[in-house]
Every structure is written in structure tokens, then in C-alpha cells.
Amino acid sequence: DSGVTQTPKHLITATGQRVTLRCSPRSGDLSVYWYQQSLDQGLQFLIQYYNGEERAKGNILERFSAQQFPDLHSELNLSSLELGDSALYFCASSGPRNPYEQYFGPGTRLTVT
């Protein structure tokens, strides 16, 4: 158990809809990262937040957005969903002692029908 929690575990929704994925980092970790993993693309970095501020941005679509709240939990919002958005979405966190090591949550499996 990494200490990172993600909800929900599974999500099934229709094209055009909007969903919110939630992540709680390990206790004491200030950085949160979001990744998308699909079979053909591997693990793709989406975005990083550090202590509430956006720190780095990857290949995140404009239809996707994220934020980190004062209690350090983070949410990833996916809107106007398309079939191709079906994937595993992982959140990871890292802390000040070992800032380069990322600890991943169990993921949310999103299926868009």
C-alpha cells in the first residue's frame, strides 16, 4: 500500500459526459502528479501540482483540468468525454525527503461507452 488513495476505482460513463477523479496523496507529500495509461500509449504524464500550484504540464488535453486543494488532495476533471479517453488514470505523490521518487495510487479505470 503506497499511502496514495484514489476514488472511484471504476467509472463507466457515456461520450460527452464529464467526470471527476479524486486523489489523496501520502501524508506529508506536497506534490501530486496525474498520469493516463492506455494499452497503446503507455504511462503518459498529464500534470503536476505542488502545494496547490501547477508545477508542470504534460500532454493534457484542453478538455481535461485539474486542481489541488488546500488539504492537498487533488481532482482531475475530464469533460466532453470521447471513447479514446477510456484508460487507467493514476495519481502519484512525492515528498520533500525524496522528491524524485513517486508513489502511485491504485488508479481509476475509466470506460467511456
Choose, by CB under 8 A, the member of 2, 51, 77, 113 that binds other proteins.
2
Tell me which stretch binds other proteins (CB under 8 A): 11-19, 64-72, 78-86, 95-103: 95-103
* CA dist., res. 5 & res. 105, Å (int): 5
* CA dist., res. 46 & res. 76, Å (int): 10
Task: Pick the closer one to other proteins by CB: 17 or 41.
Answer: 41
Q: State in angstroms the smallest separation of the CB of 16 from other proteins.
A: 27
Choose, by CB under 8 A, the member of 14, 27, 42, 70 that binds other proteins.
42
Task: Pick the closer one to other proteins by CB: 61 or 88.
Answer: 88
Cβ contacts of residue 14 below 8 Å, gap of 6+? 81, 112, 113
**Whole-Å CA distances, 83 to 38, 75, 110:** 12, 21, 10
Q: How far is CA 58 from the centre of its chain?
A: 12
Asked if 8 is part of the footprint of other proteins (rule: CB under 8 A), the reply reads no
Q: State in angstroms the smallest separation of the CB of 29 from other proteins.
A: 13
